[in-house]
Amino acid sequence: DCLYVCGAFHAASRVDEFGVAGGGSFDVSPRSATTWQYGLIPSSHAAIEAQFGLASGSVSIAATQWAKNLKRTRVQPYRLAGQDGAKKPRTAKKAAPAAPAPPSEAAADRLSGFLRRPPVLDTLDEAELLGWSVDIVRAARRSGYAASTADAIAVFETSILLAGMRDRAKPTPYDFQDAAITCIEKDSVPGRRDVRRLVEIMMGGDRIGRVGYDALPPLARDVHDRLAPLELKLQQRGVQRALLDMNARPELGACSDVLWMLRRLMPHGAARPIMGERKLGERSIQESWDLALGTHQRALIELG
């Protein structure tokens, strides 16, 4: 038995005990002894946009706004155990703390104060707009444009001017895109990409999520544990070369067995043998593999 939650929006089922006609006599049953098993599948911005029919780049812009608002409000987001970016617990010894004061109800409840506070109008964020201007000039230089620091300043000022002409409180990504095209793109396009495409890549670049080791399902964790003697960063994206010398290190024979199974079960390119073969009754003394388990992490999780 399993329960699969895809992360989309679902309609809530009707509960007879609630509503206008309900009696409100619903009793919550005690927690059962069921051991829940769950798994997270890494997704990408482009996959989310395709699933919900969103415009290209909208999820990337929303992620940027989310990160900026977290920094402004100093709210700690939820992070999985072992996820990249999570702060590691400090192990330094500290002095014995004084007797703790009883926690007040106001200090423990931070959500109520946040909900009672009126919304704050998001004014011009100069640091964010300056970062956009510098990034687009850097990308334009790599594409062959003769862009300079003066162009970055012009993009910054033109974005504010266009937002004011269009009766907006702050420049939107569309105002910034028009300003970049006006200030950087002169007569011709030196490369394959024009400034509009460079802005789309910068603002809506696709990002693929990654699940940390502690949040992986048991089968995926077991694969990482069995391949630990290879001393490779298996969660890192890209292709890594693994050299197995079973004559010098006999314990690598178990890693070879796992890699040959992954070659059959995983997509093409996840585990590709370069040297060595496996036939009935024969084993190679030395093997060489190209591994991309971090790139194909979703397929590894779906095996479980």
**Highest-scoring range by mean pLDDT, 5-9, 17-21, 114-118, 212-216:** 212-216
Q: What is the pLDDT of residue 193?
A: 81
Q: Looking at residues 176-197, what average pLDDT do you find?
A: 84
At 119-170, the pLDDT tens digits run 665 555 788 888 889 999 999 998 888 888 999 999 999 999 999 898 888 8
At 84-128, the pLDDT tens digits run 655 665 655 555 555 555 555 544 566 666 667 666 655 557 888
Q: What is the mean pLDDT of the chain?
A: 77
| Residue 19 banded pLDDT, cuts 50, 70, 90 | low
Q: What is the pLDDT of residue 265?
A: 87
Q: Given strand 286-291, what is the order of strands in its sheet?
A: 240-245, 286-291, 271-275
Q: What is the pLDDT of residue 108?
A: 54
Q: What is the pLDDT of residue 63?
A: 80
Lowest mean pLDDT of 47-56, 128-137, 194-203, 268-277, name the range.
Answer: 47-56
Q: Please give the share of the chain, as a percent, with pLDDT higher than 70.
A: 73
Residue 240 phi, psi dihedral angles, 5° rounding? -125, 140
| Residue 1 banded pLDDT, cuts 50, 70, 90 | very low
Sequential DSSP letters for the chain: ------SS--PPPP-TTSSSS------PPPPP-----------BHHHHHHHHTPPTTHHHHHHHHHHHHHHHHT------TT-TTPPPPP----PPPPPPPPPPHHHH--HHHHHHSPPPP----HHHHHHHHHHHHHHHHHTT----HHHHHHHHHHHHHHHHHTT-SS--HHHHHHHHHHHH--SS-SSS--HHHHHHHHHH---B----GGGS-HHHHHHHHHTGGG---TTSSS-EEEEEETTT-TTHHHHHHHHHHHHHHSPTTSEEEEE---BTTB--SEEEEEE-TTTTHHHHHHT-
Using the predicted structure, report yes or no on whether residue 70 has a pLDDT greater than 50.
yes
